[in-house]
Structure 1
Amino acid sequence: MVQFGYTLSSEEHGPDRLVDLAVRAEEAGFDFISISDHFHPWVSAQGESPFVWSTLGAIARETDEIEIGVGVTCPIIRIHPVNVAHAVATIQVMADGRFTFGVGTGENLNEHVTGERWPEHQVRLEMLDESMHVMRELWTGENVSYHGEHYTVENAKLFTVPEEIPAIVVSAFGPKTARMAAAKGDGLWCSGPKADVVEAYEEAGGEGPTYTQLHNCYAETEEEAIDTVYELWPNGSIPGELGQELPSPAHFEQAAELVEREDVVESGAVTGPDPEAHVESLQAAIDAGYDHVYVHQIGDEQERAIAFYEEVILPEVR
């Protein structure tokens, strides 16, 4: 059975607003919520970037049944996996087992802030694999010492541990990482209706849940929606691997000067009030093989978008 979720965009909203939106998404009947984990927004116009683990603690207390995920955390450079494991264990306890832990190899935008070198993707994959091992060991509640290629843990023991170890769902944008997700993760996390990524994951033996995020902007008119995306989410139209390599919002703003309004239309984001377009977008992700599909409403019209999905879209797709 397909589950439908709602994005809590840490890049666009402060912590209190994110908690309120989580509560509203639960009231509207969404099956899960996913919050982004960023140190910086992509561009300055987005304007926010609260510490995700503080926000998640409040969300866990203020919601009752909705599944909660982070999509996704990079537990390899900015924060040592020991500290990430500690945070995840606490959130899983507070959420009574409702938490899903999405992980990925990150973006230079967020990870360079400690002054550590930004390694190539293959090295980051190896670091992610090692960090996942460390975190799973710590979640057992046993005393852990570990001396690996990338991380050292000495005499560490988590005393607040969940009864159920959280699933680690691995982000992938191509077949190589999808195969790693199948081998080492408990599920697949993606962005957009990428059928080839799901195919590679399943061919490699992956059997866990498959998540994908769709970028939308509900507004009164298509023109208004396009203007909003063009102003607040031009990074969605920046091509290639720049999203992983550019180090600051200023660099993303420079790259975004090359983005035109026509690029927003061609990016795949649904813009405007047409219910059919929103339903077709969700159906395309389902047809691509995803069983957890969630929508990112770009801009300030969060409550109106949630109500639109509550009253029109969710009943239709279900």
Structure 2
Amino acid sequence: MTRFGYTLMTEQSGPRELVRYAVAADRIGFDFEASSDHYFPWLEAQGHSPHAWSVLGAVAHATHDVELMTYVTCPTMRYQPPVVAQMAATLAVLSEGRFLLGLGAGENLNEHVVGQRWPMVGERHDMLEEALGIVHKLLAGERVTFEGTHFRVDSAQLWDLPDARVQIGIAVSGEQAVARFAPVADHLVATAPDPDLVRRWSTTRRSMGLPVSRTLGQIPISWDRDRDAAITRAYEQFRWFGGGWKVNADLPTPQAFEAATQFVRPEDVARAIPCGPDLDAIVAAVAPYWEAGFTDIALVQVGDEKQQEFLDLAAGPLLDLLRAAAPAD
């Protein structure tokens, strides 16, 4: 059965609001909640960026049934691998096993704040692979002393671990990343409904005798009873979305994203993001993800100002439509 998630978009909402939305999404019946992990918003119009792990700690305490995950955390610069492992283990304990750790190679937007140079993508993947090995060992309860190309760890050990090992999803977007990370992660994380990506990931894992994994995707929507208002909001706050990972990973500031998207038009955004009150149009926009083989799909409702109204009026009926349309197995 396809699982549907709600995104805690830290770039567009404050911490108290995010906890309130998380509680509502749990009550409505979303299967999981995916939190972004940013230091900056993509664009200044979004206006927020609280610490994701602090918010998730509060969400873990305030919710009951919904699974939680990071979508995604970079464990190589702003956070070091032993610290990420400790945060993940603590959150899994707090949530009583409801946490999935989503990791990725990061974006310059969030990692440059620690004053290190921003590496090229190949080096970032080398760093992620090395970091993942450290995180795996610590989450397995091992004491880790390690000296690698990118990281050193001195006698690290986690003292509070959940009963079951924390599962790890890795954000990938290309063939080389699939070959590198499919054997060492539990699940696939992606932002585009690419059937070839899912097929390569599944084939790689099957060839190595590894368990079938979940494939987690994410799609923005701009629900509003007024379609024009929905388009305007999506344009003002989400026009960065069309840049793609190769562009989005390297720009350093919201001002850079403003410049990079200066020629994007509202009609361009409306073609890329379903906007307005038509729930069937949203279902049609989500369908390519399950058709591509995604097992889990997180919705991103654009804009804090319509978040509560979306949850109160549209989220429940939309979930019913999505579950009726999606494959049953």
Query: TM-score scaled by structure 2?
Result: 0.93
1:72 maps to a residue whose letter is V
Of 302, 314, 317, the match for 2:307: 302
CA drift at 1:309: 4.2
Higher mean C-alpha displacement, 22-31 vs 115-124: 115-124
1:139 aligned partner:
139
1:280 maps to a residue whose letter is A
Distance 2:290 2:141 in 1: 38
Higher mean C-alpha displacement, 85-94 vs 190-199: 190-199
The percentage of counterpart residues that share the same residue type is 36
Distance 2:263 2:203 in 1: 38
Distance 1:40 1:183 in 2: 32
Q: Is the 8 A contact 2:202 2:213 kept in 1?
A: no
Higher mean C-alpha displacement, 17-26 vs 308-317: 308-317
Distance 1:178 1:262 in 2: 34
Distance 1:308 1:191 in 2: 26
2:52 maps to a residue whose letter is V
Matched, 1:52 2:57: no
Higher mean C-alpha displacement, 62-71 vs 233-242: 233-242
Say if 1:311 and 1:134 are closer, same or farther in 2 by CA, change over 3 A. closer
**SS, match of residue 46 in structure 1:** coil
2:246 maps to a residue whose letter is E
**How many pairs are equivalent?**
317
Query: TM-score scaled by structure 1?
Result: 0.96
Say if 1:22 and 1:240 are closer, same or farther in 2 by CA, change over 3 A. closer
Of 227, 230, 233, the match for 1:228: 233
Q: Is the 8 A contact 2:129 2:181 kept in 1?
A: no
Q: Is the 8 A contact 1:238 1:259 kept in 2?
A: no
Detail structure 1 runs of 4+ shifted over 3 Å in the superposition.
307-311
Q: Give per-residue Cα distances to partners, 1:227-249, cap 9 Å, x unaligned.
A: 00111112113356220111111
1:283 aligned partner:
287
CA drift at 1:202: 1.4
CA drift at 1:308: 4.1
**SS, match of residue 201 in structure 1:** helix
CA drift at 1:316: 1.9
1:215 aligned partner:
220
**SS, match of residue 153 in structure 2:** strand
Higher mean C-alpha displacement, 221-230 vs 175-184: 175-184
Matched, 1:94 2:94: yes
Map 1:1-318; keep pairs closer than 5 Å.
1-205=1-205, 207-239=212-244, 241-267=246-272, 269-299=273-303, 300-318=305-323
Distance 1:18 1:12 in 2: 9
Unaligned runs of 5+ in 2: 207-211, 324-329
Distance 2:232 2:203 in 1: 40
Higher mean C-alpha displacement, 119-128 vs 193-202: 193-202
Q: Is the 8 A contact 1:37 1:52 kept in 2?
A: yes
Distance 2:194 2:236 in 1: 26
Distance 2:271 2:197 in 1: 21
Q: Give per-residue Cα distances to partners, 1:179-233, cap 9 Å, x unaligned.
A: 3331111010011322221122112126210000011000112211110011111
**SS, match of residue 296 in structure 1:** strand
1:222 maps to a residue whose letter is R
**SS, match of residue 232 in structure 2:** helix
Say if 1:297 and 1:151 are closer, same or farther in 2 by CA, change over 3 A. same
Unaligned runs of 5+ in 1: none
1:140 maps to a residue whose letter is A
Say if 1:310 and 1:250 are closer, same or farther in 2 by CA, change over 3 A. closer
Distance 1:219 1:211 in 2: 25
Say if 1:240 and 1:38 are closer, same or farther in 2 by CA, change over 3 A. closer
1:65 maps to a residue whose letter is D
CA drift at 1:136: 1.4
1:4 maps to a residue whose letter is F
Distance 1:167 1:159 in 2: 18
Distance 2:177 2:26 in 1: 32
